[in-house]
């Protein structure tokens, strides 16, 4: 029966992400608002996820210069804006992840389903990349942040070569080699 109902693609069968909008006095405390606790308990009992944000704080963050955002977030004991949490939770709910490509003039983030192979990821960029795929040169985004450049990452030996069957990981930086 479950297979039949899934084939109907009913809204009631879709996973749900609950987002609780709380006031700025409640954002730091997990159980201060009883209604939010009920919502989180409901989400958990259904096997869904719930997150708490404060729209007022989000609005203020959006207007601040980059340098002031971290200071502002620290005042509320927050490590990141709520929007980041919403995006990450949405990606998780939908089974999505991101990989990056970089050229001389452009860096681009690509969204793919989890479980996508390197050759399929190449096809997201251009069908010629998929058709003529040779290999992918890959390094983690975190290594780029830590060492500051592709050259430094390469010198540290963190760049590796992968074939068609490699499953792309969230945050991979990829250079595709292909021949048409």
Yes or no: say if 70 and 94 are a contact pair by the CB < 8 Å rule.
no
How far apart CA 107 and CA 49 sit, in angstroms, is 32
Dihedral in degrees, nearest 10, Cα atoms 77, 80, 84, 86: -10
pLDDT value of residue 73:
92
How crowded is the C-beta side of 54, counted as CA atoms within 13 Å? Answer: 19
pLDDT beyond 90 at 105 = no
Band (106; pLDDT cuts 50, 70, 90): confident
Superfamily of domain 2-94 in the CATH hierarchy: P-loop containing nucleotide triphosphate hydrolases (3.40.50.300)
Region of residue 41 (phi > 0: left; psi between -120 and 50: alpha; otherwise: beta):
alpha
Do 153 and 147 form a contact (C-beta atoms < 8 A)?
yes
Please state the pTM of the whole predicted model: 0.80
Beta-strand (E) ranges in 54-178? Answer: 96-102, 107-113, 133-140, 160-162, 172-178
- Quickly state the pLDDT bin for 104 (edges 50, 70, 90): confident
Nearest in space to 44 (alpha carbons), one of 9, 62, 6, 18: 18
**Which pLDDT does position 5 carry in this prediction?**
76
pLDDT exceeds cutoff 70 at 137:
yes
pLDDT band of residue 29 (cuts 50, 70, 90) is confident
Gap between the Cα atoms of 136 and 121, Å rounded: 10
3 pLDDT tier (thresholds 50, 70, 90): confident
**CATH number belonging to domain 96-178:** 3.10.20.30
* pLDDT of residue 79 exceeding 80: yes
How far apart are the C-alpha atoms of 18 and 67, rounded to whole Å? 31
What average pLDDT score do residues 12-40 get? 86
pLDDT value, residue 13: 76
- Which pLDDT value is given to residue 7? 82
- Residue 129 near residue 123 (C-beta atoms within 8 A): yes
Question: What mean pLDDT comes out for the span 109-129?
Answer: 97
Q: How many CA atoms lie within 13 A of 35 on its CB side?
A: 7
Percent of the chain with pLDDT over 90: 76
Tell me the average pLDDT across 114-141: 96
CA dist 23 → 8, 79, 172 (Å)? 39, 17, 37
Q: What is the pLDDT of residues 147-176, one digit of tens each?
A: 998 999 999 999 999 999 999 999 999 999
Q: Where are the domains of the chain?
A: 2-94, 96-178
């Amino acid at each position: 029966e479950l297979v039949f109902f899934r084939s109907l693609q009913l809204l009631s069968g879709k996973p749900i992400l609950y987002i609780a909008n709380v006031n700025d006095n409640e954002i730091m405390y997990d159980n201060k608002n009883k209604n939010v606790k009920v919502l989180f308990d409901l989400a958990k009992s259904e096997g869904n996820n719930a997150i708490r944000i404060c729209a007022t704080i989000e609005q203020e963050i959006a207007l601040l210069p980059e340098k002031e955002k971290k200071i502002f977030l620290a005042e509320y004991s927050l490590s990141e804006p709520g929007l980041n949490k919403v995006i990450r939770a949405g990606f998780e709910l939908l089974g999505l992840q991101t990989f990056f490509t970089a050229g001389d003039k452009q860096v681009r983030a690509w969204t793919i389903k989890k479980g996508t192979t390197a050759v399929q990821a190449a096809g997201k960029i251009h069908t010629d990349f998929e058709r003529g795929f040779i290999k992918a040169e890959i390094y983690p985004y975190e290594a780029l942040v830590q060492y500051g450049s592709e050259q430094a990452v390469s010198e540290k030996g963190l760049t590796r070569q992968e074939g068609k069957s490699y499953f792309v990981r969230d945050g991979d930086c990829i250079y595709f080699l292909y021949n048409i």
